[in-house]
């Protein structure tokens, strides 16, 4: 005899309806099909992604190799560029220092002009006019400085005779005089018609002329010797003597 527990009994009313069981089974089948589809898609997508990642890694490695090669190949170029940049900076600094020195020298030469002999000052008119322009480039400024210095050096090494239109007296009109330039230090001017002579020399206020009423004959003799119209001889004439410890020059016979 088999005994059935009350708990194991199932009444006809409590059993699931056939329609509900069919719906549940249909939903489970759909869910299972969707799960299989998604799993299949994921597997396919995963394979594609893995292939893409592998391709990207390979491409990255190739690019890194190219980068390393480019870095190694351009190392020499970068070194040369760095050296050139260094040289360029040094050249720029040198150019600035050179420009400063050239400008300082130009200012001294411009100040010196008033003390130059009139003939030399007139000959350097164009150079001085260009030198006074503020926009002069460094190379051109140095060239002008050297031109003026060379001309002054050459003039200072020679004794030259010229006929110049000069105003020897303050406020008096300029007139033609015979002038014997003794370098940059002094000069002798002669007015034959008026029978007058002058000593020219640089001073604190520029070039000036001093009358030599007692040395007209001597000045004439020196000019004649310079022009090969007289025999060489020692001529005693006043001259300007400069002392480094004196404020003003003195005139000696």
List Cα–Cα distances, 231 to 48, 187, 221, 225, in angstroms: 117, 21, 9, 6
Tokens matching residue 99? 């420009």
* Tokens, residue 31: 């869910």
pLDDT value at residue 17 = 61
Give the 3-state secondary structure of residue 197. strand
Q: What is the mean pLDDT of each run of 10 residues along the chain (253 residues)?
A: 47 58 81 82 81 85 83 79 87 86 91 91 93 88 94 92 85 87 92 92 87 92 89 83 48 48
Domain ranges of the chain: 77-157, 159-253
Cβ atoms of 208 and 201 within 8 Å: the answer is yes
So what's the pLDDT on residue 246?
43
Report the pLDDT value the prediction gives residue 5, as an integer from 0 to 100.
47
* Contact criterion met (CB below 8 Å) for 154 and 178: no
Residues 6 or more apart whose CB falls under 8 angstroms from that of 98 comprise 138, 142
How much is the pLDDT for 27? 82
pLDDT at 244: 43
Phi/psi of residue 217, nearest 5 degrees: -65, -40
Q: What is the pLDDT of residue 18?
A: 62
pLDDT score of 109: 92
Q: Provide the b/e sequence for 43-73 (b: ≥16 CB within 10 Å).
A: eeeeeeeeeeeeeeeeeeeeeeeeeeeeeee
């Amino acid at each position: 005899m088999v005994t059935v527990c009350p708990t194991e009994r199932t009444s006809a009313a409590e059993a699931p309806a056939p329609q509900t069981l069919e719906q549940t089974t249909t939903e489970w089948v759909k869910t299972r099909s969707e799960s299989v589809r998604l799993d299949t898609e994921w597997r396919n997508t995963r394979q594609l992604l893995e292939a893409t990642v592998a391709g990207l890694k390979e491409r990255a490695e190739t690019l890194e190799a190219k980068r390393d090669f480019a870095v190694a190949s351009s190392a020499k170029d970068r070194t040369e560029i760095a050296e050139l940049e260094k040289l360029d900076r040094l050249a720029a600094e040198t150019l600035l220092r050179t420009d400063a020195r050239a400008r300082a020298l130009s200012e001294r030469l411009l100040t010196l002009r008033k003390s130059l002999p009139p003939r030399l000052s007139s000959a350097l008119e164009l150079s001085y006019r260009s030198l006074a322009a503020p926009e002069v480039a460094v190379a051109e400024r140095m060239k002008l400085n050297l031109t003026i210095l060379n001309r002054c050096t050459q003039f200072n090494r020679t004794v030259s005779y010229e006929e110049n239109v000069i105003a020897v007296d303050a406020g008096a009109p300029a007139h033609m005089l015979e002038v014997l330039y003794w370098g940059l230090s002094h000069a002798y001017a002669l007015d034959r018609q008026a029978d007058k002579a002058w000593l020219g020399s640089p001073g604190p206020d520029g070039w000036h002329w001093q009358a030599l009423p007692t040395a007209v004959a001597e000045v004439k003799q020196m000019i004649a010797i310079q022009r090969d119209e007289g025999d060489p001889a020692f001529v005693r004439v006043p001259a300007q003597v400069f002392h480094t410890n004196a404020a003003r020059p003195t005139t000696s016979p």
